[in-house]
Structure 1
Amino acid sequence: MEISVDISLYPLQEGYEKPILAFIAALEEEQSVDVVRNELSTQVHGDYHTIMQLLEKEILSVFDEIPHSIFVMKLVGNNRKGIY
């Protein structure tokens, strides 16, 4: 099953840009998903299981490093790449 996820990360600290860019870069390392950046959020498109495993790993990594962070996510039950 293909899905799309819209993600926003809010590290509650000064210098918040670096952790956001690092999180996005980690998502982009997964070759089997499509990652689309914009100014307000990042969209990830691809296989449900691959994306969920990737998010589980990378969100935990952020929480380990910056526990005072907020993630806002919207999930769509199909691949909406290019439809926004």
Structure 2
Amino acid sequence: MKLSVEISMYPLKDEFIPAIQHFIDRLNTHPELQVRTNTMSTQVFGDYELVMDVLKKEMRLSYEQFGRAIFVCKFIDGDLSPVTTNGE
């Protein structure tokens, strides 16, 4: 089963950008996932079990390394990754 997730991280500290960037960078270390980031959120696409396992691991790591944060997520079954055109 495929899963699509939109996730936004809100660290509860003044220096929030390093924590967000670290979380996104960690998601991108998993080549079996498709990760797309824009100015509002990060989208993750892949196998259900793998996506959930990666999010569980990376969210915990973020809490342990950077402290309190809010994660806002939307989950939908299926692969809703954007279709690329013109070889992009």
**Is this a same-fold pair by TM over 0.5?**
yes
Aligned to 1:66: 66
Moved over 3 A (4+): none
Q: CA deviation at 1:65?
A: 2.2
- Paired position in structure 1 for 2:86: none
Which residue of 2 is the match for residue 49 of structure 1?
49
State the distance in 2 between where 1:67 and 1:21 align: 14
Given the two structures, how large is their TM-score scaled by the length of structure 1? Answer: 0.94
> TM-score, normalising length from structure 2?
0.90
Unmatched 5+ stretches in structure 2:
84-88
For the aligned residue pairs, the C-alpha RMSD in angstroms reads 1.0
> Once the two structures are aligned, what percentage of the paired residues are identical?
35
Instruction: State the number of aligned residues.
Output: 83
More off after superposition, 40-49 vs 57-66: 57-66
- Which consecutive residues of structure 1, in runs of 5 or more, have no partner in the other structure? none
Question: Which secondary structure does the structure 2 equivalent of 1:44 belong to?
Answer: strand
Kindly provide the amino acid, as one letter, of the partner of residue 32 in structure 2.
Answer: S
Larger radius of gyration: 2
Cα separation, 2, equivalents of 1:38 and 1:67 = 23
